[in-house]
């Protein structure tokens, strides 16, 4: 119990400083976060290895909220069993039938009480109380343990769990003796103590005395009569240890339930899914160990003969397993690392303990891989081509790692064991030098890095293009005639026309409030197979994107985000006009195919013929014909109905098209372009516009020419 060095009731009022010495139990309960890690609700990313009905694994990550210190309590209880398993593997004095093979964890229906069982050697009865009652008590301090890759180093873990629990019971069997004890005060015993008429403060002191000493003997507040009354009930509830013969049975069982008041009065119930994954992690990092999880009516069993490798063998991931062992160095390092292509979170286990933040050695491993890959000739050649230097991030963004590391005497920043601080740089260098070429060959890592470099370069070009786009949006775009109405007006159309002369013809025919006009200067650039950033380096293309308000970092999600409801491409009815129209359609399809799905893209055609007709009833009419076919139909109609063609004008181009004819084109001749089949559209675009399809293009043109000749 605590002791006040200066014990005066009015010490605070008089300005006296109040020094206090806390017992281990009091300090752990008051400063739980120092001993067990963050003791408040935390949001973190949790990995899950999910197995489907076919036995294939998918690795996912989910954001969870929980108390890290609470989860550490589960870890401390389980790591004792894991250490026992590791020691059993190396101890030749233990017969095979007596070595630990199972770890069984049960969670109560209300998710509050945890039971951790193993079939290891058990703890000798003479040592059991020390292990669970005292800090700095364990068997991992002698030279023999230096031969084992164990997680526990300080002898405090399981006793910490006891100190922050309201229920803690142990049963352990070793060499023919069974030891059983309840290390928390039973409710019936508390009820009896209350009949002793202690003040609330003294009652708490009595309970604390048991928590600190594991017994009531010598408690200054209890007399012989009190102890005599308590004795039978304490024996019945196992608050006094029971030691009995157990034959050949061996193993340890620990049951505990955490006390919320030591966790800032937060919910101390356990998440079954999180526990299930935690136990699967233990099985993965300890090949051959069977791990069971029981909760309500469901049981899970995890056992991996090959350890973590079974996860990757039964997945769609591209990976390389790097193994490195050196029993002759001080750390006796045993490094098993799975390099997986693609971006994700690197996960690290050190002697089966999940190190959330990895460690300095893991960071060095990652950096070493990055630096050595950047020296490869393929990467340096690409640097010259792109005129840029490769970076660690170019490599780092192409892979992630799953590290299962075993070393002697691991050292961590804190008791929560989230960050490893051992210096393993020389071992890491040797491991990388030995395996790098095989890693590169099996995973095609260099190709991934090259693509990453090209992507980064394109993004830089895209950023530059965005700056130019923002500048174009702010300034008056040359030759653009925007609508005079409001941006929110319905029916806004941007006409992209062939040349200034077309704009001159369209201007008097348009609806000035709704129709915008923008002229093209000759044939637009063929953008097929070109990065968007490069396409936007073209002033004309950049201006069109700025005028429409098209996104350049993502797909268009809603056509309402655009500055115009429709875009209509209007050109001369000749081969040059058709080429310009096709190149513009290809531009929009290359970067924003969704525009066609939204019904944004249109083409408009100006009449090829303007015909004045006088009908037999004397009525005169001007009729516009889009093409020769339309004109032939009109001639048939005139002949049948006894009409007379008074005037015929053939428009050679948009610049010669009259106002009424152009108005007819604007109001009546707009056609929406619809894609009925994406695959066919893609093949068509590739054939006629992609530079790699030149030979196929020549063949198609030749076949078309022959067909025309034959006709």
Closest by CA to 61, choosing from 217, 298, 274, 224, is 274
| Cα(231)–Cα(217) distance, integer angstroms | 10
Closest by CA to 622, choosing from 585, 597, 584, 649, is 649
CA angle at 122 for the pair 118 and 127, rounded to the nearest 5°: 140
197 in Cβ contact with 266 (< 8 Å): no
CATH (one of 3.40.50.620, 3.30.230.10, 3.90.25.10, 3.40.50.300) for 317-455: 3.30.230.10
pLDDT bracket for residue 9 (50, 70, 90):
low
The pair of three-digit structure tokens given for residue 483, joined into one six-digit string: 């609508």
Label residue 332 left, alpha or beta by phi (over 0 means left) and psi (-120 to 50 means alpha).
left
Task: Return the pLDDT at 147.
Answer: 53
32 in Cβ contact with 262 (< 8 Å): yes
| Cα(36)–Cα(82) distance, integer angstroms | 19
485 in Cβ contact with 511 (< 8 Å): no
Contacts of 441 (CB under 8 A, 6+ apart): none
Confidence (pTM): 0.68
The pair of three-digit structure tokens given for residue 631, joined into one six-digit string: 């004109």
Task: Return the pLDDT at 64.
Answer: 94
Task: Return the pLDDT at 546.
Answer: 85
Share of the chain above pLDDT 70, in %: 92
At 183-195, the pLDDT tens digits run: 999 999 999 999 9
Lowest mean pLDDT, pick from 87-91, 234-238, 348-352: 87-91
At 442-492, the pLDDT tens digits run: 999 999 999 889 888 877 766 666 666 666 665 578 888 989 999 889 999
611 in Cβ contact with 645 (< 8 Å): yes
CA angle at 610 for the pair 607 and 616, rounded to the nearest 5°: 135
pLDDT at 137 > cutoff 80: no
Task: Return the pLDDT at 143.
Answer: 46
**64-186+237-302: CATH number:** 3.30.565.10
pLDDT at 568 > cutoff 60: yes
Question: How far is the CA of 592 from the CAs of 533, 545, 551, 584, 586, in angstroms?
Answer: 14, 11, 9, 12, 10
Q: Do domains 64-186+237-302 and 480-565+572-597+684-710 have the same CATH topology?
A: no
Task: Return the pLDDT at 684.
Answer: 83
pLDDT at 593 > cutoff 70: yes
| Cα(137)–Cα(129) distance, integer angstroms | 10
Q: Give the chain's mean pLDDT.
A: 88
Average confidence (pLDDT) over 167-173? 97
pLDDT at 226 > cutoff 90: yes
The β-bridge partners of 51 are 57
DSSP-assigned letters across all residues of 253-290: EEEEEE-GGGGTT------HHHHHHHHHHHHHHSTT-E
Dihedral sign (CA 386, 387, 390, 394): negative
Return the axis-axis angle of helices 445-474 and 360-374, rounded to nearest 10°.
Answer: 90
pLDDT at 152 > cutoff 50: no
Task: Return the pLDDT at 120.
Answer: 92
Contacts of 710 (CB under 8 A, 6+ apart): none
Higher-confidence position of 497 and 472: 497
Average confidence (pLDDT) over 366-390? 94
CATH (one of 3.30.210.10, 3.30.420.40, 3.40.1260.10, 3.40.50.670) for 480-565+572-597+684-710: 3.40.50.670
Which residue ranges make up each domain of the chain? 1-30, 64-186+237-302, 317-455, 480-565+572-597+684-710
pLDDT at 567 > cutoff 90: yes
Task: Return the pLDDT at 154.
Answer: 45
In the block, tokens 């700056």 appear at 467
The pair of three-digit structure tokens given for residue 172, joined into one six-digit string: 């352990």
At 507-541, the pLDDT tens digits run: 888 899 999 999 988 888 888 888 887 888 788 88
| Cα(566)–Cα(670) distance, integer angstroms | 10
In the block, tokens 């992690």 appear at 281
Contacts of 78 (CB under 8 A, 6+ apart): 103, 105, 116, 278, 279, 282
266 in Cβ contact with 260 (< 8 Å): yes
172 in Cβ contact with 178 (< 8 Å): yes
Higher-confidence position of 607 and 494: 494
Task: Return the pLDDT at 689.
Answer: 86
Q: How many other C-beta atoms lie within 10 A of the C-beta of residue 403?
A: 24
Label residue 409 left, alpha or beta by phi (over 0 means left) and psi (-120 to 50 means alpha).
left
Average confidence (pLDDT) over 593-597? 92
The pair of three-digit structure tokens given for residue 403, joined into one six-digit string: 């590290």
pLDDT at 6 > cutoff 90: no
Per-residue buried b or exposed e for 200-213, using 16+ beta carbons within 10 Å of the residue's own CB: eeebebbbbbbbbe
The count of C-alpha atoms lying within 13 angstroms of the C-alpha of 527, restricted to the half-sphere facing its C-beta, is 24
pLDDT bracket for residue 575 (50, 70, 90):
confident
Average confidence (pLDDT) over 32-60? 92
């Amino acid at each position: 119990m605590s002791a006040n060095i200066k014990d005066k009731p009015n010490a605070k009022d008089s300005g006296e400083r109040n020094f206090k010495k806390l017992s281990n139990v009091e300090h752990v309960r008051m400063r739980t976060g120092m001993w067990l890690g963050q003791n408040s609700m935390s949001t973190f990313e949790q990995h899950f290895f999910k197995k489907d009905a076919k036995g294939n694994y998918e690795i996912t990550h989910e954001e969870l909220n929980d108390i890290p210190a609470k989860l550490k309590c589960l870890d401390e209880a389980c790591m004792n069993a894991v250490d026992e398993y590791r020691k059993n593997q190396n101890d030749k004095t233990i017969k095979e039938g007596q070595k630990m093979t199972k770890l069984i964890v049960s969670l109560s229906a209300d998710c509050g009480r945890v039971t951790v069982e193993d079939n290891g050697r058990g703890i000798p009865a003479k040592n059991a109380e020390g292990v669970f009652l005292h800090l700095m008590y364990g068997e991992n301090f002698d030279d023999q343990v230096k031969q084992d890759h164990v997680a526990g180093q300080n002898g405090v873990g399981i006793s910490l769990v006891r100190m922050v629990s309201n229920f803690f019971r142990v049963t352990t069997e070793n060499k023919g003796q069974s030891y059983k004890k309840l290390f928390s005060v039973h409710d019936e015993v508390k009820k009896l103590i209350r009949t002793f008429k202690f003040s609330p403060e003294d009652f708490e002191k009595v309970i604390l005395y048991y928590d600190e000493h594991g017994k009531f003997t010598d408690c200054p507040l209890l007399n012989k009569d009190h102890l005599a009354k308590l004795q039978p009930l304490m024996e019945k509830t196992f608050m006094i240890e029971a030691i009995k013969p157990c034959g050949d049975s061996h193993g340890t069982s620990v049951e505990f339930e955490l006390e919320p008041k030591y966790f800032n009065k937060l919910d101390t119930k356990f998440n079954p899914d999180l526990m299930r994954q935690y136990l699967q992690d233990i099985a993965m990092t300890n090949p051959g160990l069977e791990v069971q999880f029981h909760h309500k009516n469901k049981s899970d069993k995890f056992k991996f003969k090959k350890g973590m490798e079974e996860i990757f063998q039964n997945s769609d991931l591209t990976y390389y397993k790097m193994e490195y062992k050196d029993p002759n160095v001080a750390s006796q390092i045993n490094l098993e690392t799975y390099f997986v292509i693609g971006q994700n979170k690197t996960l690290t286990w050190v002697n089966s303990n999940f190190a959330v933040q990895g460690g300095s050695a893991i960071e060095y491993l990652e950096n070493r891989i990055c630096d050595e890959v950047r020296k490869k000739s393929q990467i340096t050649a690409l640097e010259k081509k792109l005129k840029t230097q490769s970076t660690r991030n170019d490599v780092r963004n192409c892979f992630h790692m799953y590290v299962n590391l075993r070393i002697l005497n691991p050292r961590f920043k804190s008791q929560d064991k989230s960050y490893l601080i051992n210096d393993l740089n020389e071992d890491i260098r040797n491991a990388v030098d030995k395996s790098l070429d095989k890693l590169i060959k099996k995973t095609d890592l260099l190709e991934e890095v090259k693509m990453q470099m090209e992507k980064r370069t394109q993004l830089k070009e895209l950023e530059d293009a965005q700056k130019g786009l923002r500048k174009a949006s702010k300034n008056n775009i040359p030759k653009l005639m925007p609508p005079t109405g409001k941006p929110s007006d319905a029916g806004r159309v941007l006409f992209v026309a062939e040349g200034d002369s077309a704009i001159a013809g369209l201007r008097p025919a348009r609806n000035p409030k709704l129709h915008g006009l923008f002229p093209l200067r000759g044939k637009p650039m063929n953008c097929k197979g070109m990065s968007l950033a490069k396409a936007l380096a073209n002033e004309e293309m950049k201006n069109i994107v700025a005028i429409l308000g098209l996104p350049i970092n993502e797909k268009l999600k809603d056509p309402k985000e655009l500055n115009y409801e429709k875009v209509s491409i209007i050109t001369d009815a000749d081969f040059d006009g058709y080429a310009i129209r096709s190149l513009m359609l290809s531009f929009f399809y290359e970067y924003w195919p969704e525009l066609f799905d939204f019904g944004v893209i249109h083409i408009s055609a100006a009449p090829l013929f303007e015909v004045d007709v006088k009908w037999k009833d004397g009525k005169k009419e001007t009729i516009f014909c889009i093409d020769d076919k339309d004109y032939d139909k009109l001639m048939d109609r005139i002949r049948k109905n006894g009409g007379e063609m008074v005037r015929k004008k053939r428009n050679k181009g948009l610049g010669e098209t009259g106002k009424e004819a152009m108005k007819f084109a604007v109001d009546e001749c707009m056609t929406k372009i619809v894609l009925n089949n994406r695959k066919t559209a893609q093949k068509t675009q590739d054939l006629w516009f992609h530079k790699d399809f030149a030979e196929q293009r020549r063949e198609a043109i030749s076949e078309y020419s022959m067909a025309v000749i034959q006709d």
